[in-house]
Amino acid sequence: MKRTNAVLIALLLAGGGYSAGVSADTDEMQVPSGFRYATDRWVSANIKLAAPDRRSILLSFYSEGTNGLRLLENGFTDTTGRYTGQLHLPAHLTQVKMVVRGAMRQSTLVLPISADSVNYVE
């Protein structure tokens, strides 16, 4: 048994004599219009919430899939209720769920992603 293990380890360290090559001719590939190779993207967020008590509000951005909600980003508004920034999101998303949590408020909003931005004003 020890000899078999020693041989396997020697093959593993030597690369096992295995090699593979992959090639593709991009001239023959048919790539659909609008296809993006990137799996993620930066999306600008411009959110303005009513903040009558002048406290920061927690914003949580989620994607929704077959397994439920997945947290993507968290952020806080300033004391005037404004949040601006960049969200790092999966490229395939067309909308996000935003959960708003404040001292006097909790709500969930569905926001579309349009032209690489998420906007909401109340």
DSSP code at position 16: G
Residue 8, pLDDT > 90, answer: no
With a cut of 70, say whether residue 107 has pLDDT above it.
Answer: yes
**Is residue 17 over pLDDT 60?**
no
Out of 30-34, 99-103, 114-118, pick the least confident: 30-34
Q: Which pLDDT belongs to residue 5?
A: 65
Copy the structure tokens of residue 101: 């949590």
Q: Rounded mean pLDDT of 93-108? A: 93
7, pLDDT greater than 80: no
Range of weakest confidence among 29-33, 55-59, 89-93, 116-120: 29-33
**Confidence at residue 51, expressed as pLDDT on a 0 to 100 scale:** 85
Residue range 55-62: mean pLDDT, rounded: 95
Does pLDDT of 67 surpass 60?
A: yes
First-to-last CA distance in the chain?
A: 72
Residue ranges and CATH numbers for the domains of the chain are 38-121 (2.60.40.1110)
Q: Which of 59, 62, 61 is nearest to 75 (CA)?
A: 59
Cα 93 vs. chain centroid, distance in angstroms? 8
Phi-psi region of 91 (alpha: psi -120 to 50; beta: other; left: phi over 0): alpha
- With tokens 């935003």, the residue in question is 98
Structure tokens belonging to residue 81: 């209720």
